[in-house]
Amino acid sequence: MASIAIDNPGSVVLLMGNEAIARGALEAGIGVAAAYPGSPTSEILPTLAGAAGERDIHVEWSANEKVATEVAAAASLAGIRSLAVMKQNGLNIAADFIVNLNMTGSGTGGMVIFVADDPGGMTSSNEQDSRAVAKWIDNPLLEAQDAQEAKDMLKWAYELSEAVMLPVFLRGVTRLCYTRGNVVLGELPVKNKKKAYFPDIWDMYNPTKSRFTAGPSAVAHRNLHEKLEKARAVFEESPFNRYSGPENPELLIIASGVCTSYSAEALEVLNIRKRVGLLKLGTVWPLPEKLVAKWLTAARKVLFVEETDPFVERSVMEFAASRLPEMDNPVFYGKRSGHLASYNEQSTDLVIAAVAEILGLPQQIRDPDYQRDAAEAMNLVPNRPINMCAGCPHRATFWAIKNAIALDGRNGFVCGDIGCYSMSFAAPGFYQSRTMQAMGSGAGVANGFGNLQQFGFAQPVLAVSGDSTFYHAVLPALVSGVYNKANFTLLILDNSATAMTGFQPHPGTGLLATGETAPVVNMEALCRSVGAEVSICDPFALGEATGTILEMMKQESGPRVIIMRHMCQLLKAKRKIPDKYHAWVDQEKCLGDSCGCDRLCTRIFGCPGLMWDSAAKKAVIDEAICVGCGLCADICPAGAIKKEEVN
Amino acid sequence: MSGTKRGSKNLLEDVIKAGLCTGCGACVTGCPYIVVREGRIVVLDRCTLEEGDCYRHCPRTRTDMNVVSGKVFGVPFSSAETGHALTIAMARSTDHLISKKAQDGGTVTTLLAFALDARMIEAVVCTKMDESKAPHGFVAHSRDELLQCAGSSYEAGFALEAFRKLPAGSADRVAAVGVGCQIEALAKMKAEAPVNGGNPDNIQLTVGLFCGWSLRSGYFRPILQGMGDPARIVKFDIPHSPHTSFDVYAEEGKSSVSLDEIRSAINPACQYCWDMTAEFSDISVGSAGSRFPGWNTIIVRTERGAELLARARDAGLIEIQELPEWRLAQLKTAALNRKRTAFKRLAEKSGDSQDLLYIFGLSEGFADSLLAG
Amino acid sequence: MAAGTLSKEPFNLIVAGVGGQGNVLLSAFIGLALVREGFVVSVADTFGVSQRGGSVTSHIKISKESSYSSVTLPGGADIILGMEPVETLRALGEFGNPHVVAIVNPRPVHPSGGGPYPALDEVKRAIIKLSAKATFVNATEEALKMGDPIYTNIILLGALLGAEVLPIGREAMLPVLQERFTEKIYEVNIKAFDKGIELVKAAAA
């Protein structure tokens, strides 16, 4: 039985935020969940998929977040509660659908969209605060503080969604999604026996347009605003907004999401809970103005603690401005005042520093002697850059690309994309990717470069894409390229997984989210049918791979495709596919840092399984890390790296 | 020339980007970062060493002629027009099989085939043309393999990259055939032994080829393609007189293209080359000219070269004749003019008549006298 | 620490290692066992990109009553379980203080790109200097003896519990491990776990 579906209300378990959200969705009685993998949300869907059979729900990985949101919307329109899950960038993709859905509303089945931002951009190509999207496209927005609250908010969110007939946003951040905390389980409802039916079909005797088609937009927009006011009224009474502290606080902290925890801990550490109040907002947009007004009146100073934009800060200040000149306003502190940054994560110590500054309190200082010793010790600590795993096929692919571009000699370059192979913008992929924006942008941008010949452009253009990325966003770019005769070579790095986010299946893998078999959407057949020439290579066959890239680079026709196919090494390990070789470095033959080598394997090739012994001045293979792929043996100029097959 | 740094980055700046690279292939052997691709040097990645064999052995980085001459001949650099020499004569092979395929007198192929057969050496580093007649470095271990290499290629062949094909730590005795820049590179290897890889003492014998210039692949290939299927070509030749055509002998017969057209494909780096007769070899070989078809001019420079020649003659494989005075005079004039032109071009390039870029160690006034003339 | 009690409220444990060493799993086990013993726990990890050989730090905050934010304050660690030497030092640098206790696996994992790795002796000396007590447990060596480096983190888990610095002991952890490991591999993992306990006790002696 899936542990997330334990029927034991009242029991306490340790769940990470993502698991709690999955549990919350089950407790709310959803019938459908759809998503595309995106850190930090990636575990939500597989957790639900694990319980799909038992709870009799439909759980799917959609090709991209827009489709996932559309799938969830359909369920809602047919009266089934649904959940769509995405990271910040996914919301950008889904937004066009949501703005249109909002014109006519969601259905009788509540719909919740969970979006997680990544403050600090730890696992993202950009940093953004998605809450502004909810404000811009007019959806009610909730923000959860911890795993328990995330779970509890979901049921409430569905009720709200059904009351106002709009999708409700629940927003989280990396620290919410990936922090495990105590969660008290609630009740699981009786399994969903509601019949799915879309009521708004054509009635030939009374023909009218469906509620769910567009226009007139202005009227729909007005109706949308009225729905938001309804939500605002509900928010005024919401249990997710709480005040703790004195009646007339010297300083009022208004915090939302995980920042509430940082603020609470800061007050604890500074021991000023009797002086400073904490207003926690769980319902963030529309702003519960009456509630906020009460505490603005009670406090002389207000500090906003949130990630990353001054979103609540601006909403409150906007509201406060409307109260002038009748009401006095407190002094506002936050991002505008410079007490907290409007980028990167917040943390308890940053809040401590801000509060101490505002109240004139002494700062906490670490033991100065220890501080000095610690700073000195840091000189010993090397940076630990991220790298592709030992045995990663991307290392082989980018080695082939690097050599091919050099041999070609016409200043070729790679347009990069999103996935593990994104690391190719840096040392792990030999700095080969020279542009990188969103999913599918590699092929998209290559299209543009590929049609600049009339301006004298003569550089060969390569684009890279992962297998999952291909189905997500690259296909339209390839179609556009064939149609517009753009000159570029697309390399699809097919490692049989959506690897960076955790090896989720996708349309090319033959597996569903639930583990059942699925039809394979054949990548090469798809590319050929679109009109592109396709070659398939194993990147580990370096000579052939390099030669194929060189050949393709020379062509001047429309886009051609090379599928670099080799399973992800971590996936191989999961599936217990054994190591192929035992590899070691013949210390006698190793040339090390002398002429004829200059540490090619450890300095440039950079597999984490290779170490440089600076005492012996030789390369050594770390048997605890090496997976036996044998690629290093193929690139060693002295033939010092040996490999023998393991049976 | 950059000061004291002698690494691959300096090679790239001082030689390749400076337009001095002759395509000899010395930098390629032993280096994983420098490769040849379609007749161009390609640097695949960054080597961080301050000093390397690539720079040390390149014939177009700082070369002290006296030091090299001392290493090869045991005497200072000769001011003779055709360099240090014991004898200058004419020679040709008596083996018709060789003469048919080889250039002019077939002397080079005959001498080396003999050296292999007589077990004086185990391998020959030379140039072999592929199906499309593009030259590549090759290591021949037998007479048959050597025969496959007979016949001149006029494209820069980077032949010295073939040293890489010799097994590391091999004790095989090796002979090498090359044009002036390649022989100079090999001489520099003797002066400063490679750090890793081939022992230059294994090089028992070097045979130099007279050379006027070589052609760049990128420009020559299209001309060649325009003359038919390269796979059917048997031999190239440029007759000395009249010196106006580039002849291509194919299975179906001979065709020609004007020498002017070919000149457009000449490697510009060759204008900075002083060495028409491969002055640092054991024995240099060239064409004897239109008046002596099927004969080579040979310049014997060392005892080793003399010994090989004598043994081959005694075995009845080589015919040797005296080179007529007038022909010798012609040779000397041509060689001297070559030096003069090269020095002038180098001085123009450096902007300083005292700065010949890569040439050092000349005797006082030697360069000036040539520049003045 | 006596079972069931906390010497400090809240109590901060940091597990510092390199992506791929399995410290996320480790911190999940610790968290689970603590919750079952009635503690309020917050466990924060960095996932995803860190798997690719970068630094991974897991913060485990243990309390009797409240739910605190997950990340340790600078200088706020009570215990650092170091799966790798320079990562231990990195954690000490930011979160260490004069009373911190360190349990460390002294097996270097070189950063990729071939950057220099400091002399291990120097690193160990610095770790000892920056902690009130530092115990070195050769977990990787033992794991390799058992046939697979994958046992390293379970051995370290044993060492942590065997050191009796947490309010839970072996008995609290066994049911957690039993749930996680299938019958086939439970035995060998318990062996590894007990080896860790043995090693840390031997090192203390």
Q: Judge C/B contact: 3 or more CB pairs < 8 A.
A: no
Burial of A632 (0-12, 13-18, 19+ CB in 10 A): buried
User: How far, in Å, CA of A474 to CA of C67, rounded?
Assistant: 44
- Residue B1 within a domain: no
The answer to whether the beta carbons of residues C53 and A386 sit under 8 Å apart is yes
Same domain? For A632 and A510 the reply is: no
* DSSP code for A470: I
Tell me the per-residue pLDDT of A228-280, one tens digit each, with 9 for 90 and over: 999 999 999 999 999 999 999 999 999 999 999 999 999 999 999 999 999 99
Q: Do B44 and A600 touch (CB under 8 A)?
A: no
Q: Are residues B169 and B279 in the same domain?
A: yes
Does B97 share its domain with B236? no
* A481 and A550 Cβ atoms separated by less than 8 Å: no
The gap from C-alpha A503 to its chain's centroid, in whole angstroms, comes to: 14
Contacts of B297 (CB under 8 A, 6+ apart): B88, B89, B90, B210, B285, B286, B287, B288, B289, B323, B327, B331
pLDDT at residue A37, rounded to an integer? 94
Any residues with CB less than 8 A from the CB of A288 and at least 6 apart, and which?
A: A232, A235, A236, A238, A241, A281
Q: What is the pLDDT of residue C51?
A: 60
Residues A321 and A438 in one domain: no
Residues 241-300 on B with a CB inside 8 Å of A are none
**Residue in A406, A430, A596 closest to B197 by CB:** A596
Residues C71, A123: C-beta atoms closer than 8 Å: no
Domain enclosing residue A109, as ranges: 3-233
Do the chains contact at A269 and C42, CB–CB below 8 Å? no
Nearest of C98, C105, C63 to residue C84 by alpha carbon? C105
Same domain, B140 and B99: yes
Whether residues B47 and B175 share a domain: the answer is: yes
Q: Do B42 and A604 touch (CB under 8 A)?
A: no
Count of domains for chain A: 4
Contact B91, B318 (CB under 8 A): yes
Q: Which domain holds residue B234?
A: 217-263
Within a domain: B250: yes
Is residue B2 one of the residues assigned to a domain?
A: no
Of all residues in chain A, what percent carry a pLDDT higher than 90?
A: 85
Task: Tokens 């110590």: give the residue.
Answer: A349
**Strand B318-322, strand A641-645: pairing:** unpaired
Question: What gap in Å lies between CA A485 and CA A451, rounded to an integer?
Answer: 8
Establish if A314 belongs to a structural domain: yes
- Closest chain B residue to A591 measured between Cα atoms? B196
Convert A274-287 to b/e letters by CB count within 10 Å (16 or more is b): ebbbbbbbbbbbbb
In whole angstroms, how far apart are CA A229 and each of A311, A381, A612, B235?
19, 55, 65, 91
Considering the domain architecture, whether residues B115 and B183 belong to the same structural domain is answered as: yes
The reply to whether residue C41 touches residue A607, judged by beta carbons under 8 angstroms, is no
Residues A315 and A191 occupy one common structural domain: no
CB contact under 8 A, B48 and A603: yes
Nearest to A600 among B32, B54, B195 (CB): B32
**pLDDT computed for residue B200 by the predictor:** 79
Residue A327 pLDDT level (bands cut at 50, 70, 90): confident
**Do B255 and B279 lie in a common domain?**
no
The candidate with the shortest Cα–Cα distance to A565, out of A470, A440, A442, is A470
- The alpha carbon of residue B203 is apart from the nearest alpha carbon of chain A, in Å, by 20
* Position B201 in a domain: yes
Examine the domain organization and report whether A314 and A193 are in the same domain. no
The domain tally of chain B equals 2
CA distance linking residue B210 with residue B273, whole number of Å: 12
What residues of chain A lie within 8 A of the CB of B53, using their CB? 595-596
Measured in whole angstroms, the distance separating CA A215 from the mean position of its chain's CA atoms is: 33
- What does the pLDDT read at residue B94? 92
Q: What number of other Cβ atoms are within 10 A of residue B77's Cβ? A: 23
Which pairs count as long-range contacts for B291-296, CB under 8 Å and 24+ apart, including other chains? Answer: B291/B241, B291/B327, B292/B90, B292/B327, B293/B104, B294/B92, B294/B99, B294/B104, B294/B105, B295/B90, B295/B91, B295/B92, B295/B104, B295/B105, B295/B321, B296/B90, B296/B91, B296/B92, B296/B104, B296/B105, B296/B106, B296/B107, B296/B108
Residue the block writes with tokens 């000490």: C92
B370: enclosing H helix or E strand: helix B366-372
Nearest CA in chain A to C27: A180
Least confident of A213-227, B108-122, C155-169: A213-227
* Domain match, A534 and A461 both: yes
- Assess if residue A39 is contained within a domain: yes
Task: Answer yes or no: are the C-beta atoms of A380 and C89 closer than 8 Å.
Answer: yes
Other CB atoms closer than 10 Å to residue C5's CB: what's the count? 8
- Token duo for residue A498: 């959506």
Show which subunits contact B, needing at least 3 CB pairs below 8 angstroms.
A
Q: Do residues B223 and B296 both lie within one domain?
A: no
Give the H/E segment covering residue B54. Answer: helix B53-57
Calculate the average pLDDT of chain C. 90
Q: B37–A409: do the CB atoms touch at under 8 Å?
A: yes
Across the interface, of A374, A420, A606, the residue whose CB is closest to C130 is A374
pLDDT of the residue at A358 = 96
- Report CB contact under 8 Å: C35, A388: no
- Residues sharing a CB contact under 8 Å with residue B234, sequence separation 6 or more, in sequence order: B101, B151, B249, B250, B251
Residue B46 shares a structural domain with residue B35: yes
Task: Check whether residue A172 and residue A153 sit in a common domain.
Answer: yes
Interface contact flag, B45 A596, Cβ < 8 Å: no
What does residue B271 show for φ and ψ, rounded to 5 degrees? -70, -15
Query: Which DSSP category does B155 fall into?
Result: B
Neighbours of chain C (3+ CB pairs under 8 A): A
Tell whether the model's pLDDT for residue C49 goes beyond 60.
no
Residue among B32, B46, B23, B15 at smallest CA distance from B218: B23
Sheet holding A413-415, edge to edge: A433-435, A413-415, A461-466, A489-494, A560-565, A533-537
Residues A590 and A568 in one domain: no
Residues in chain A within 8 Å Cβ distance of B42: 406-407, 409
Residues of C in contact with A47 (CB under 8 A): none
- Shortest CB distance from C41 goes to which of A182, A265, A428? A182
- Strand bridging mode C79-82 / C11-18: parallel
Residue A597 and residue B32: Cβ atoms within 8 Å? yes
Among the candidates A574, A605, A633, a domain finishes at: A574
Query: Cβ separation of A595 and B168 shorter than 8 Å?
Result: no
Compare all CA atoms of chain B with the CA of A592 and give the residue at the minimum distance: B196
Closest residue in chain A to residue B28, using alpha carbons only: A596
Query: Which of A406, A409, A595 is closest, CB to CB, to B49?
Result: A595
B17 plus B102 within the same structural domain = yes
Domains of chain C: 11-204 (3.40.920.10)
Please check whether residues A458 and A593 belong to one and the same domain.
no
Whether B44 and chain A come into contact, CB under 8 Å, resolves to: yes
Helices (H), A165-310: 174-178, 217-236, 259-270, 289-298
Alpha helical stretches, state H, A184-310? 217-236, 259-270, 289-298
B243, B263, B283 — which closes off a domain?
B263
Report pLDDT for A212. Answer: 84
Query: Looking at the partner chain, which of A348, A427, A501 has a beta carbon nearest the beta carbon of C73?
Result: A348
Pick from A380, A620, A632 the residue to mutate for testing the C interface (most C CBs within 10 Å): A380
Please list the residues that pair with C12 across neighbouring strands.
C61
Average pLDDT, chain A: 94
- pLDDT for position B199: 75
Verify that B182 and B245 share a domain, yes or no.
no
CATH code of the domain in which A30 resides: 3.40.50.970
CB of B39 within 8 Å of a chain A CB? The answer is: no
Nearest to C111 by CA among C92, C137, C85: C85
- List chain C residues with CB under 8 Å of A382: 86, 111, 115-118
pLDDT at A2: 63
- Domain assignment present for residue A27? The answer is yes
Closest Cα of chain A to B30: distance in Å?
A: 5
pLDDT digits (tens, 9 = 90+) for A290-317: 999 999 999 999 999 999 999 999 999 9
Whether residue A269 is found in the same domain as residue A206: no
**A599 — alpha (psi -120 to 50), left (phi > 0) or beta?**
left
Q: Residue A165: how many CA atoms within 13 Å on its side-chain side?
A: 17
Give the pLDDT band of residue C47 (cuts 50, 70, 90): low
Strand partners, A285: A141
- pTM, entire model: 0.89
In a domain, B62, yes or no: yes
**A1 vs C175, more confident:** C175
Closest-CA residue of chain A to B35: A407
Closest CA of chain C from A13, distance in Å: 7
A384 belongs to a structural domain: no
Report residue A318 as tokens.
């906007």
Query: Which H helix or E strand runs over B11?
Result: helix B8-11
Of A208, A233, A258, which residue is a domain's last?
A233
**Ranges of residues in chain B whose predicted pLDDT is under 50:** 1-2
Model confidence at C48, pLDDT cuts 50, 70, 90, reads very low
Looking at per-residue pLDDT, the higher value among A322 and C4 belongs to A322
- DSSP string covering B222-241, please? HHHHTTS-GGGEEEEE--SS
Is C43 within 8 Å of A373 when comparing Cβ atoms? Answer: no
Q: What is the pLDDT of residue B4?
A: 72
The pLDDT tens digits for A463-477 are: 999 999 999 999 999
Average pLDDT, chain B: 91
A383, part of any domain: no
* A586 and A569 co-located in one domain: no
Q: Are residues B234 and B355 in the same domain?
A: no
Question: For A357-385, what is each residue's pLDDT tens digit?
Answer: 999 998 777 888 999 999 999 999 988 88
> Mean pLDDT lowest for which of A561-570, B28-37, C125-134?
B28-37
Q: How far apart are the first and last CA of chain B?
A: 26
* Interface contact A594-B196, CB threshold 8 A: yes
ipTM exceeding the 0.85 mark: yes
Is A250 found in the same domain as A219? no
Together in a domain, B243 and B146:
no
Query: Which stretches of A239-285 are assigned E, i.e. beta strand?
Result: 242-244, 251-256, 276-281, 283-285
**Across the A/C interface, how many CB contacts are shorter than 8 Å?**
188
**So what's the pLDDT on residue C116?**
80
- On whether residue B3 sits in a domain, the answer given is no
pLDDT score for B3: 58
Say whether the A–B interface has 3 or more Cβ pairs within 8 Å. Answer: yes
- How far B61 CA lies from chain A's nearest CA (Å)? 17
The per-residue pLDDT for C183 is 87
Residues A222 and A141 in one domain: yes
State the smallest CA–CA distance between residue B234 and chain A in angstroms.
Answer: 29
Domain boundary among A200, A233, A266: A233
